[in-house]
Structures are given as structure tokens and as C-alpha cells.
Amino acid sequence: MFQLNDQTALVTGASRGIGREIARTFARAGAEVILASRTLEAVTKAADEISKEGYRAHPVEMDVSNVDSIRKGMEEVGQISPRIDILVNNAGIVRDNLLIRMKAEEWREVLATNLDGTFCLTQAVVSKMFRQRYGRIINLTSVVGQMGNPGQCNYAAAKGGIIGFTKALAREVASRQITVNAIAPGYIMTDMTNSLGEKAREGLLNLVPLGQIGSVEDVAAGALFLASKEAGYITGHVLNINGGLYM
């Protein structure tokens, strides 16, 4: 197993699902983990669950769509740890609708959290990594950002933008031994997919060559690898964790 001993990781959108599992996996690998979410009660519960296992986990309230919230959250992060070795930009929302019916606010909300939030928080963290001359930045994109999906023009635009952001930033910071990569999950078993009916789930499985829906553990394992020192020669890469849905 890859180890993250003596490292500090900041994971956004960490109150549930993929973000929570990445935080737990990093903690088990030896990292001190800071879990960020705009809902303090939920992220505190997630951090407490990890702490009860005997690992180091701290909750921080942070809404990545709000610059003031990022500033305040980063001040709290600085009180927990003077350095951030790993940043996982996982926070994201959906506001699905066909383009012809999509409200401007539905477009703006998704872009503000998923894309603007990734930019703003990364900008706040990367200066620390510059001084450290080390860092791992992992951005959660989506298979939807690669192949599109009806009713998700806003989400696809945001997630596609994250891919471009990842590749450009990877070139900017490589000289400081900072790697920047993305993970593009496919259909993953989360609260959303759990709520699907049997027929809808079968329809999804028919699109996936491996014939199964992925797990949050699958995504967390990919994140752990990209965060590790063993992945030090990988940057600007998009890791597809999708069962072959998009190749």
C-alpha cells in the first residue's frame, strides 16, 4: 500500500461519498487529513468517524464557490498545519436540465462550485506548495466532461474545464516538483446511484464494458496512487476510473 506518512492532505467535498472515502484512505495511509465542506455539521461527523479509527482528521467549513469562505477556511487550515502536501479538489454539485430549459442560475451555480472553486482554492494552496517545493494536486473531473451527457451541459462544461485547467497548471508548476493530475470517475455507487430504480441501473450497466458500477473505494485507490511519491513522474494526466465506459 502507498504511504503518506508525515504529509498533510486537504480534501474538499469531504462530508460524504467520494470525498469522504478519499479522506479516509489518505488517513489510513498515514496522512493528517483536513476535510472541508460547506456543511460543518456533516463534515465534522465524517472527520469524527475517521478520528475514532485512530487517525488524524480535522473538519473545516469551506464553501469553494465563495472566495471569502475559502479565505476564512484557509486561515483555519493554517492553524491546523503549516503546510499542505496534497490537495484534492472534489467539491461539486449538479443542477441537471436540458439546455433549452436551463436557467442561467443553474449554469452559474455549477460553474461556480465545480470550476471556479477548483481555480480559487488551488490558487490559495499552490503558493504553499511553491515554498515547499513539493505538492500533489488532484482534481476530480468526470467521464461526463470527456464524452458529454444529455441534460448536463453545465456539468460537462465545468468538468471539461477542469481537465484543461489540470493540464495547463501541470506545466506551470512542474519545476517546483508539484504534480497536477485529474481523476475522471464513471458511474460510481453513491447516494445518487443508490436512488436509481432497477431498470435505470441495468441501463447504466449495459453501457459499461466491465458490467458493474464502480465504488468510492475504486476512486480513492486511484487518488492514493496519484498522491504518493511513487507517482512523482506522472503529471497532466487524466486517470479514467470508469469500467471502460470511455476509452
How crowded is the C-beta side of 165, counted as CA atoms within 13 Å? 25
190 three-state secondary structure: coil
The percentage of residues in the chain with a pLDDT greater than 70, rounded to a whole number, is 97
CA 196 to the chain's CA centroid: 23
Residues in CB range of 206: below 8 A, 6 or more apart: none
pLDDT of residue 1 exceeding 90: no
Active-site annotation holds for 155: yes
Examine residue 247 and state whether it is found in any structural domain, yes or no.
Answer: no
Examine residue 27 and state whether it is found in any structural domain, yes or no.
Answer: yes
Query: Could you report the per-residue pLDDT of 15-71, keeping only the tens digit for each?
Result: 999 999 999 999 999 999 999 999 999 999 999 999 999 999 999 999 999 999 999
Across 73-186, the runs of DSSP E, i.e. the strands, are 86-89, 135-140, 178-185
Q: How many CB atoms lie within 10 A of CB 105?
A: 9
Residue type, 245: L
The enclosing domain of 120 has a CATH number of 3.40.50.720
Lowest mean pLDDT among 17-21, 177-181, 194-198, 225-229: 194-198
pLDDT of residue 242 exceeding 90: yes
Among the options 55, 134, 155, 187, which is catalytic? 155
Examine residue 152 and state whether it is found in any structural domain, yes or no.
Answer: yes
pLDDT mean across residues, the chain: 95
What cell does 224 get?
492514493
Query: Could you report the per-residue pLDDT of 58-113, keeping only the tens digit for each?
Result: 999 999 999 999 999 999 999 999 999 999 999 999 999 999 999 999 999 999 99
Q: Domain span at residue 152?
A: 8-237
Phi (first) and psi of residue 30, to 5 degrees: 110, -5
Examine residue 2 and state whether it is found in any structural domain, yes or no.
Answer: no
Report which DSSP code applies to 114: I
**Which tops the pLDDT comparison, 202 or 39?**
39
Examine residue 1 and state whether it is found in any structural domain, yes or no.
Answer: no
Note the pLDDT of residue 194. Answer: 66
Note the pLDDT of residue 198. Answer: 72
97 three-state secondary structure: strand
Phi-psi region of 177 (alpha: psi -120 to 50; beta: other; left: phi over 0): left
Which pLDDT band holds residue 190 (cuts at 50, 70, 90)? confident
Note the pLDDT of residue 205. Answer: 84
Examine residue 122 and state whether it is found in any structural domain, yes or no.
Answer: yes
At CA 135, angle to CA 46 and CA 124, rounded to 5?
A: 70
Residues in CB range of 122: below 8 A, 6 or more apart: 87, 89, 137, 139, 169
- Number of domains making up the chain: 1
Examine residue 245 and state whether it is found in any structural domain, yes or no.
Answer: no
pLDDT of residue 132 exceeding 90: yes
Q: How many CB atoms lie within 10 A of CB 75?
A: 10
Note the pLDDT of residue 156. Answer: 97
Bridge partners, 86 (sequence order): 9, 136
Examine residue 83 and state whether it is found in any structural domain, yes or no.
Answer: yes
